[in-house]
Amino acid sequence: EPEVTQTPSHQVTQMGQEVILRCVPISNHLYFYWYRQILGQKVEFLVSFYNNEISEKSEIFDDQFSVERPDGSNFTLKIRSTKLEDSAMYFCASIAGGSSYEQYFGPGTRLTVT
Amino acid sequence: LAKTTQPISMDSYEGQEVNITCSHNNIATNDYITWYQQFPSQGPRFIIQGYKTKVTNEVASLFIPADRKSSTLSLPRVSLSDTAVYYCLVGAFSGGYNKLIFGAGTRLAVHP
């Protein structure tokens, strides 16, 4: 079964540093998402991406965040200057679009900001 | 997106049937009901989606009464591996682009 992959599985960074989280969505999917989950809290929507541009973003997704689909397979989330409160699990998800309604989530990247 | 209410936690034993009910009084005509499952340190995983009456797949059944103001996810004969958080989501998931708004979910613990 095709799956969404994410790298790295765990990233430790110092406050103020830039991080790039990488995702490879399922190959024929058209819509891409980033979510995050702070430890013990609910999954929160960050941003959706379609046709090489952001479709929607939440209040969390401020100017420190950016997304990119640099080629036909990768989908990245960049945090420009990390803060302690950015520590969380970050999940990438994708959906085929059309009449499909199932979002496929990756295994997540655990980001720890020290 | 319609607000949903579900129990914070439930306990069950192996082999039992588990029913998790979700209330969504403000569900709109175009809204579908979708359930996701999340294991610790993993991404959510789609379980089932329905609009009305009953939907069944290899994993679960979803019961939706005629007024659609609630729904019940039924897990037959649970095992220890069904211990997870279960999320009820309501929205116009008929296709295409759709962000998911997760609530706190129901934490199901299955005991030996």
Residues B17-54 pLDDT 10s: 999 999 999 998 888 899 999 999 899 999 999 999 99
Q: Label the pairing between strands B106-111 and B9-13.
A: parallel
Residues in B 78-107 with any Cβ partner in A closer than 8 A? 87, 93-105
DSSP state, residue B26: T
Kindly list the distances between the CA atom of residue B1 and the CA atoms of A25, B33, B102, in Å, as whole numbers in the listed order. 26, 11, 10
pLDDT for B5 beyond 60: yes
Mean pLDDT of A70-79: 92
For B22, the 3-state DSSP assignment is strand
Residue A70: the pLDDT is: 87
Between A44 and A71, the higher pLDDT residue: A44
Chains A and B: how many Cβ contacts under 8 Å? 64
Torsion on CA atoms B82, B86, B92, B94, rounded to nearest 10: -10
pLDDT for A10 beyond 60: yes
Structure tokens at B107: 């934490």
- For the ranges A48-52, B9-13, B79-83, B90-94, the lowest mean pLDDT is seen at B90-94
Interface touch A89/B41, C-beta < 8 Å: yes
pLDDT for A90 beyond 90: yes
Structure tokens at A59: 């209040």
- For the ranges A40-44, A73-77, B28-32, B46-50, the lowest mean pLDDT is seen at B28-32
The string of DSSP letters for chain A reads: ----EEE-SEEEE-TT--EEEEEE--TT--EEEEEEE-TTS--EEEEEEETTEEEEE-TT--TTEEEE--SSS-EEEEESS--GGG-EEEEEEEE--TT--PPEE---EEEEE-
Interface touch B97/A31, C-beta < 8 Å: yes
**Chain A contact present for B39, CB below 8 A:** no
For B81, the 3-state DSSP assignment is helix
Strand partners, B75: B18
Residue A22: the pLDDT is: 97
Residue B93: the pLDDT is: 59
Q: Using a CB-CB distance cutoff of 8 angstroms, which residues of chain A are in contact with residue B103?
A: 42
Determine phi and psi for B104, rounding to 5 degrees: -75, -20
